[in-house]
């Protein structure tokens, strides 16, 4: 099998797997793209309205957000639960896309997350990104790197429940340790690949069958 045919086949398999895991509006556009288009990069139809292209993050409002995980809460200022954030953004700024920080969620229980998602929908808004706390992805201590991976995996699962199509993983800086790009990159890839294991099991199997010399490494480069 030629490199071109193999790549097209793998792209088709990956598109099908991810399309099954993505929300329908995203999955439709993703799954119908040709391998040639996919090789040229992602394609999105951007809104024409200026405000529709903006998203408001909860970080500037950290002093107002009540959460046991938010160390920046200022008790001298009025508070609000992050469930109220979408409605506030829509009312005060006319912005209906929000980016919430993981630390601003009062709870990760399903009932609370469902209530957050319902509040976003009621405001006529959507969550477009989920900001995660810093992970020690290049820590020389393997157990700390593993903890960072598990944290990322956990919030990827929660992002699905919240209806967020993306996450933003911040990198922690272990005190006195020089950043190791290779180690951090490898750990992040492990986090992402293992998080999509259920959706991509058959793709990895296809990868081993059609390109045994490249295996998972080929799949990572492809993704």
What CATH number matches the domain at 49-179, 3.20.20.150, 3.20.20.140, 3.30.70.2190, 3.30.470.20?
Answer: 3.20.20.150
* Cα 150 from Cα 162, distance rounded (Å): 18
* Average pLDDT score over residue span 141-155: 85
68-77, 154-163, 210-219: which is most confident: 68-77
Q: Rounded to 5 degrees, what are φ and ψ at 66?
A: -80, 120
Give the DSSP per-residue string, 54-67: --EESGGGTTTB--
* pLDDT of the residue at 72: 96
Exposed e or buried b for every residue in 61-76, given b needs 16+ CB within 10 A?
Answer: bbebbebeebeebeee
Helix pair angle (197-210, 3-21), 10° resolution: 170
* Average pLDDT score over residue span 196-217: 41
Backbone CA torsion sign across 198, 199, 204, 210? positive
Helices and strands (H and E) in the chain: how many: 9, 4
Q: Rounded to 5 degrees, what are φ and ψ at 100?
A: -100, 145
pLDDT at residue 30 above 50?
A: no
Q: Specify the pTM.
A: 0.66
Query: Mean pLDDT over all residues of the chain?
Result: 74
Q: Is 50 or 196 the better-scoring residue by pLDDT?
A: 50
* pLDDT of the residue at 75: 95
Q: What percent of the chain has pLDDT over 90?
A: 35
The sheet with strand 97-101 has its strands ordered as 56-57, 97-101, 126-135, 167-171
* Average pLDDT score over residue span 63-78: 96
Place of tokens 């700390």: 144
For the chain, domain boundaries: 1-41+197-223, 49-179
User: What length does the chain have?
Assistant: 223
* pLDDT of the residue at 104: 97
Give the pLDDT confidence of 96-122 residue by residue, as tens digits. 999 999 999 999 999 999 999 999 999
* Average pLDDT score over residue span 44-71: 90
* pLDDT of the residue at 107: 96
Beta strand 56-57 with 97-101 is parallel
- Lowest pLDDT segment from 99-108, 189-198, 211-220: 211-220
Is-contact 93 20, C-beta < 8 A?
Answer: no
* Cα 192 from Cα 116, distance rounded (Å): 25
User: What does the block give as tokens for 159?
Assistant: 């992002």
Q: Rounded to 5 degrees, what are φ and ψ at 168?
A: -125, 105
């Amino acid at each position: 099998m030629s490199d071109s045919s193999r790549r097209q086949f793998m792209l088709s398999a990956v598109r099908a797997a991810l399309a099954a895991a993505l929300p329908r509006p995203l999955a439709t556009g993703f799954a119908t793209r040709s391998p040639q288009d996919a090789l040229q990069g992602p394609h999105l139809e951007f809104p024409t309205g200026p405000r529709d292209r903006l998203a408001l993050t909860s970080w500037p409002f950290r002093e107002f957000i009540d959460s046991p995980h938010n160390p920046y809460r200022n008790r001298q200022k009025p508070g609000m639960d992050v469930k109220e954030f979408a409605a506030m953004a829509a009312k005060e700024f006319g912005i209906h896309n929000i980016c919430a920080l993981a630390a601003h969620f009062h709870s990760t229980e399903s009932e609370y997350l469902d209530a957050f998602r319902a509040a976003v929908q009621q405001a006529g808004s959507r969550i477009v990104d989920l900001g995660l706390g810093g992970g020690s992805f290049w820590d020389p201590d393997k157990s700390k790197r593993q903890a960072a991976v598990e944290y990322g995996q956990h919030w990827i699962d929660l992002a699905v429940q919240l209806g967020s199509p993306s996450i933003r993983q911040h990198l922690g800086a272990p005190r006195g340790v020089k950043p190791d790009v290779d180690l951090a990159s490898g750990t992040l890839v492990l986090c992402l690949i293992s998080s999509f294991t259920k959706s991509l099991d058959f793709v990895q199997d296809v990868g081993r069958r059609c390109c045994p010399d490249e295996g998972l490494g080929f799949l990572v480069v492809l993704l």
